[in-house]
Amino acid sequence: MSILKLNVIDLEKSEYKGGKSSLCPGCGHDQISNVIIQAAWENGIKPEGIAKMSGIGCSSKTPAYFLGKSHGFNTVHGRMPSVTTGANMVNKDLSFLAVSGDGDTASIGIGQFIHAIRRNLDMVYIIENNGVYGLTKGQYSATVEKGSKKKKGTMNEQSPIDLCAMAVNLGCSFVARSFSGSKKQLTALLRAAMSHKGMAIIDVISPCVTFANNDESYKSYNYVKENDEVLHIVDYIAHFSPIEAVEVPAGEFKEIKLFDGSTLRLETVGNEHDPTDPVEALRAIHDADKESRHVTGLLYYNPDKKTATETLGLTNTPLMALPESELRPSKQSLEELNEGFRTN
């Protein structure tokens, strides 16, 4: 009999698993689902406290494949942010974990994506970015790079929309880019995003094995492996980790304190990156873009921005839990209201 490992709230990892994936074997999205399971388990989040949100597309199907003990909503194409907004307004205590794709986010849903950032909705927003529409059989999406070519058809001639650059420009409070093949980096970034209060965006390059995993595709495994411009080595140190378990790296590093008390350690590789500076974040994106490389790591971080519900000054109890006595004004108040109209 093997001893099963438990997390900080005494749950086995299996408590965080979902149904069987129906995506193509080898799909980058399945690797991301595994990272989601791992990160939620390691962070010791109660499964019932999480709400899984998604739009439409291959990526948006994945909430069926992780966190089976959490409620979720597979909504409509590109409109997941608004549904999340409504749910967040009435229950700010839920942890919203959203999965979307590049078609869902960069095309049909770009307006809702932008406005969710503008409001600083308290959520983790993962974009599973492969540059193609998988479910409709491989059309280019708006994030595909100019000069990239999918398995069949012609080379893409249009400029891409860089969702991270857009998020930085909009003042998103946590912006990261990663790769589905970089399990360690992605897990650390996702754990940090889960510890963050406010909108956390992780744009994850996730190769489409069926339609765009050829070497001429800039989002193929081989291409990303060879052209990954790593900003820093990321390490997540949970707030509940015993102090003696935390190693101190030999080289230079920076530490970021997260909302729940956890730490994200950024070890310098090459040039030091300051994630609190939006201009530096944009420069890193543009520099990589010039050389057709993908920059990965924590691009931008701003912990001081108020969340959507904080800005509204909502009462502390989640609105959905307010009793009738707080939601329906008294009979006397209506009598006074009528009287006020009569005498005015």
Partner 1 sequence: MAIRVNDFTINIATANGTGSQSANLIILHSMYEMGVPVSGKNLFPSNISGLPTWFIIRASDAGYQAPGDHTHIQVMMNKDTWEKDLNNTEPGAVIIYNQDVKLPVERDDCVVLPMPMTKMARSISPKMAKLMANMYYVGAIAHILKIDQGAIEAAVSNQFGGKEKAIEWNLQAIAQGKAYAEENWDYESEYMAEARNKDPNTFLIEGNEATALGAIYGGINMLSWYPITPSSSVAESIISWIPKLREAEDGGATCAVVQAEDELAAAGMVLGAGWAGGRGMTCTSGPGISLMSEFIGLFYFSEVPGVIWDVNRVGPSTGLPTRTQQGDLSMLYEASHGDTQHIVLIPGTVDECFEFGWRAFDYADRFQTMVFGFGDLDLGMNRWSTAGFEYPDIPMDRGKVIRSQEQMDAIANYGRYRDVDGDGIAYRTLPGSGLDPILYRGTGHDEDGIYSEDPQVYHSTMERLKRKIDGARDLLPAPIIRQEKEKSVGIIFYGSMENTIVEIDDMLEETGLSVSTCRVRALPYHSDVEAFIEAHDNIVVLEINRDGQLFGILRKELPVQLLTKIQSVAYSDGLPPRARVYADLILETMKEVKL
Tokens of 19: 């149904």
Q: Which stretch binds partner 1 (CB under 8 A): 9-17, 87-95, 165-173, 198-206?
A: 87-95
Nearest to 56 by CA among 100, 91, 26: 100
Give yes or no for residue 32 binding partner 1 (CB under 8 A): no
Give yes or no for residue 10 binding partner 1 (CB under 8 A): no
Give yes or no for residue 319 binding partner 1 (CB under 8 A): yes
Q: Using CB under 8 A as the criterion, what x/- string covers residues 230-259 for binding partner 1?
A: ------------------------------
Give yes or no for residue 20 binding partner 1 (CB under 8 A): no
Contact residue for partner 1 among 27, 28, 38, 72 (CB under 8 A):
72
Q: Which is nearer to partner 1, 123 or 168 (CB)?
A: 123
CB of 195 to partner 1, least distance (A): 19
Give yes or no for residue 120 binding partner 1 (CB under 8 A): no
Give yes or no for residue 90 binding partner 1 (CB under 8 A): yes
Dist. CA 53–CA 51, nearest whole Å = 6
Contact residue for partner 1 among 7, 16, 33, 47 (CB under 8 A):
47
Tokens of 140: 């280019």
Dist. CA 113–CA 163, nearest whole Å = 9
Give yes or no for residue 49 binding partner 1 (CB under 8 A): yes
Give yes or no for residue 112 binding partner 1 (CB under 8 A): yes
Contact residue for partner 1 among 8, 44, 71, 197 (CB under 8 A):
71
Q: Which is nearer to partner 1, 117 or 193 (CB)?
A: 117
Helix (H) or strand (E) holding 183: helix 183-195
Contact residue for partner 1 among 94, 124, 166, 200 (CB under 8 A):
94
Question: What count of Cα atoms within 13 Å lies in the side-chain half-sphere of residue 254?
Answer: 16
| Residue 317 identity | T
CB 129, CB 203: distance < 8 Å: yes
Tokens of 270: 């090459």
CA 26 to chain centre: 21
Q: Which is nearer to partner 1, 12 or 93 (CB)?
A: 93
Tokens of 70: 């959490």
Contact residue for partner 1 among 21, 24, 82, 303 (CB under 8 A):
82
Strand partners, 100: 127
Question: How deeply is 337 buried, as exposed, middle or buried, from its count of CB atoms within 10 A (0-12, 13-18, 19+)?
Answer: exposed
Dist. CA 48–CA 52, nearest whole Å = 10
Give yes or no for residue 51 binding partner 1 (CB under 8 A): yes
Give yes or no for residue 68 binding partner 1 (CB under 8 A): yes
Contacts of 337 (CB under 8 A, 6+ apart): none
Q: Quick check: helix, strand or coil at residue 284? A: helix
Dist. CA 23–CA 34, nearest whole Å = 13
Rg of the Cα atoms in the chain? 22
| CB-CB neighbours of 309 under 10 Å | 21
Q: Which is nearer to partner 1, 96 or 221 (CB)?
A: 96
Q: Which stretch binds partner 1 (CB under 8 A): 73-81, 172-180, 193-201, 256-264?
A: 73-81
Give yes or no for residue 314 binding partner 1 (CB under 8 A): yes
Dist. CA 338–CA 332, nearest whole Å = 10
Residues in 291-310 at the binding interface with partner 1, rule: CB under 8 A: 308-309
Give yes or no for residue 341 binding partner 1 (CB under 8 A): yes
CB of 107 to partner 1, least distance (A): 14
- Look up tokens 């000069």; give the residue: 147
Q: Which stretch binds partner 1 (CB under 8 A): 4-12, 25-33, 271-279, 312-320?
A: 312-320
Q: Rule CB under 8 A: which residues touch partner 1? A: 46-49, 51-52, 63-64, 68-76, 79, 81-91, 93-94, 111-112, 114-115, 119, 308-309, 312-322, 324, 326-329, 331, 333-335, 337-338, 341-342, 344
